[in-house]
């Protein structure tokens, strides 16, 4: 008998497609419509808050075309939770104006195609980055304000091509090749693959998220030419839509464009029970410089679990381990100690310290550290960055070399949180990755970007050494290093790690820091940016 890959299951998923009875809606009295909107908003808002379970996620989408008008997507720990959600909606006044056109039930999973070590050694024994990547697959988060595409698929069981007759090694090789196609969409497409074997009519449900619907079209189109799809893929109906907040339900029913605008955070995308730890970032200075003429390769697939390609899958089972991206200016996440990024920025502002919120920009950053040779690391990053630069959401990706430590930092800045999150998964496969910002300390990393006037670069480094001596004596200080962009030595990134928020704030409020900032006004090419990264 052909070997079946092992699987690990996570959250159950319900894709609930609804059509609106527009005739009944138009004929209903105003008070009934108002009640329907209020109860519909309340139901959907509570689902996004995950008021019905300890963890999970939900999202509301408009659907374009005749097959449905609305799509509710729910991820929950059990089928019983999903069953409860279905019945609760039927109790709302909104339900009488809708009819379910179809639905899809599945469960998120990872398989032996992703990592042999995960199943052989257990989740506690594998690399932290790989474990985090797998957890993200099993407990996915729905991106905010993104287009969505959903379709079911199965693997063919025909006379000539039968997926289930292939050896494991042959299937793994096909999955690896399929994943290579998805590399080109790093930062553009996020996907959730959920198994529906024994749960629904097809074998998997595929949900793609992207800021541009043409990216969704392009990746599906290119995948069709890969043997894993052309020979072995069978697909059901496709649905396309756009996420909008529950507060816009009335606007949607009135025929207005949704999302209607920046909604109240209370209604729009309330904190997800499983993902409160988004981290703030900022765009630094410099970018892709001309200092090195290098080319490299690296990365992984933005479009792969098992049925539809691995994220940089290989036949040997060595696959990328994605890091959680740092959040952006719109996020109000909390660190591991419950300290919100917004509170940190507010306290920095009270100290008259610029907190890294550039005017008119909403950017998202991820920072990873590597102990690999910096030249080798740069070559790999350059290869990935060549792909990243194809996307309008990419702001900057750069390698910074440490002054006093043996490790380097890879900083990647994006316009959207989902793009930064996807990029983090690719970057975490870089050689020698040991941690992301904040993992080494109880509080996290205060990241500070500087562009120094060339004539003052060495003096700036000497001053940093003097400040470093002061830091070494301060309570709660873990480590601080001055890191220089390998393509632009005047572009510097200070990564300062602290055990507690109070310790970090004590430094930023000290006379020594204020004196350094005052001196810096003479030597910096532009305003420094202090960024709470973790």
What integer pLDDT is reported at residue 304 of this predicted model?
A: 33
Q: Are 412 and 494 in contact (CB under 8 A)?
A: no
Nearest to 62 by CA among 44, 77, 79, 81: 44
What integer pLDDT is reported at residue 341 of this predicted model?
A: 54
**Structure tokens given for 491:** 């572009």
**Structure tokens given for 404:** 């006093």
Considering the candidates 104, 147, 151, 450, report the single residue annotated as catalytic. Answer: 151
What integer pLDDT is reported at residue 151 of this predicted model?
A: 97
**Structure tokens given for 419:** 């793009």
From CA 473, how far away is CA 466, in angstroms rounded?
Answer: 12
Helices (H) and strands (E) in the chain, counts: 15, 17
From CA 508, how far away is CA 329, in angstroms rounded?
Answer: 21
Within 10 Å of residue 18's Cβ, how many Cβ atoms? Answer: 20
**Cα three-residue angle 141-142-148, rounded to 5 degrees:** 145
Residue 404 phi, psi (nearest 5): -120, -10
What integer pLDDT is reported at residue 333 of this predicted model?
A: 37
Q: Are 104 and 15 in contact (CB under 8 A)?
A: yes
Taking only the tens of pLDDT, the chain with its 534 residues reads 777 878 889 999 999 999 999 999 999 999 999 999 999 999 999 999 998 999 999 999 999 999 999 999 999 999 999 999 999 999 999 999 999 999 999 999 988 766 666 667 676 666 666 677 778 889 999 988 689 999 999 999 998 999 999 988 898 888 877 777 777 787 788 889 999 999 999 999 999 999 999 999 999 999 999 888 999 999 999 999 999 999 999 999 999 999 986 444 444 333 334 333 333 333 333 333 333 333 222 222 323 333 444 333 333 332 222 233 333 333 333 444 444 555 665 666 665 555 544 333 456 778 888 999 999 999 999 888 888 887 777 888 999 998 888 889 898 888 777 777 778 888 888 888 887 665 554 555 666 777 888 888 888 888 888 877 888 888 888 888 888 999 998 888 887 878 777 777 777 777 777 676 666 667 777 655 555 554
What integer pLDDT is reported at residue 127 of this predicted model?
A: 66
423-457 per-residue burial string, b: 16 or more CB within 10 A, e: under 16? bbbbbbbbebbebbbbbbbbbbbbbbbbbbeeebe
What integer pLDDT is reported at residue 273 of this predicted model?
A: 41
Q: Is 30 exposed, middle or buried (0-12, 13-18, 19+ CB in 10 A)?
A: exposed
Nearest to 146 by CA among 229, 81, 213, 233: 213
Q: What is the DSSP letter of 411?
A: E
151 is catalytic: yes
Q: Are 356 and 345 in contact (CB under 8 A)?
A: yes
What integer pLDDT is reported at residue 530 of this predicted model?
A: 54
Task: Please report where in the chains the tokens 């039930």 appear, as a residue.
Answer: 105
Within 10 Å of residue 27's Cβ, how many Cβ atoms? Answer: 10
């Amino acid at each position: 008998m052909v070997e079946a890959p092992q699987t690990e299951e996570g959250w159950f998923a319900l894709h609930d497609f609804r059509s609106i009875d527009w005739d009944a809606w138009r004929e209903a009295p105003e008070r009934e419509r108002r009640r329907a909107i209020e109860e519909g908003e309340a139901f959907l808002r509570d689902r996004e808050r995950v008021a019905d379970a300890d963890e999970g996620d939900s999202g509301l989408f408009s659907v374009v075309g005749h097959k449905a008008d609305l799509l509710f997507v729910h991820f929950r720990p059990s089928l019983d939770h999903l069953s409860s959600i279905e019945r609760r909606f039927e109790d709302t006044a909104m339900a009488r104006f809708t009819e379910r056109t179809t639905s899809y039930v599945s469960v998120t999973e990872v398989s032996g195609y992703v990592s042999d070590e995960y199943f052989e050694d257990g989740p506690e024994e594998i690399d932290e980055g790989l474990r985090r990547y797998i957890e993200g697959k099993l407990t996915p988060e729905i991106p905010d304000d993104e287009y969505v595409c959903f379709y079911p698929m199965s693997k063919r069981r025909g006379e000539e091509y039968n997926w289930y007759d292939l050896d494991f090694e042959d299937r793994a090789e096909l999955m690896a090749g399929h994943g290579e196609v998805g590399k080109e969409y790093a930062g553009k497409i996020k996907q959730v693959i959920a198994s529906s074997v024994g749960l629904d009519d097809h074998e998997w449900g595929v949900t793609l998220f992207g800021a541009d619907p043409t990216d969704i079209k392009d990746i599906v189109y290119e995948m069709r030419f890969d043997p894993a799809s052309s020979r072995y893929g069978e697909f059901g109906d496709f649905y396309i839509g756009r996420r909008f907040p529950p507060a816009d339900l009335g606007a949607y029913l009135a025929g207005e464009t949704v999302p209607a605008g920046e909604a109240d955070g209370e209604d729009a995308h309330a904190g997800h029970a499983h993902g409160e730890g988004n981290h703030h970032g900022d765009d630094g200075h410099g970018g892709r410089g001309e200092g090195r003429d290098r080319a490299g390769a690296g990365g992984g697939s933005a479009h792969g679990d098992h049925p539809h390609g691995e994220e940089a899958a290989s036949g040997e089972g060595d696959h990328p381990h994605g890091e959680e991206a740092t959040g952006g200016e719109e996020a109000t996440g909390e660190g591991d100690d419950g300290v919100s990024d917004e509170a940190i920025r507010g306290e920095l502002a009270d100290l008259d310290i610029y907190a890294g919120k550039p005017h008119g920009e909403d950017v998202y950053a991820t920072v990873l550290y590597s102990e690999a040779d910096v030249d080798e690391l740069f070559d790999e990053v350059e290869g990935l960055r060549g792909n990243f630069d194809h996307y309008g959401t990419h702001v900057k990706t750069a390698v910074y070399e440490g002054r006093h430590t043996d490790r380097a930092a890879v900083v990647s800045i994006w316009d959207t949180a989902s793009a930064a999150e996807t990029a983090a998964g690719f970057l975490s496969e870089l050689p020698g990755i040991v941690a992301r910002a904040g993992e080494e300390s109880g509080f996290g990393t205060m990241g500070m970007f500087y562009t120094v006037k060339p004539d003052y670069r060495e003096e700036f480094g000497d001053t940093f050494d003097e400040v470093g001596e002061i830091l070494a004596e301060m309570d709660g200080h873990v480590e601080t290093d001055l890191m220089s962009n390998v393509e632009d030595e005047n572009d510097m990134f200070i990564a300062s790690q602290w055990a507690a928020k109070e310790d970090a704030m004590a430094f930023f409020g000290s006379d020594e820091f204020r004196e350094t900032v005052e001196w810096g006004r003479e030597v910096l090419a532009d305003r420094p940016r202090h960024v709470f990264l973790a």
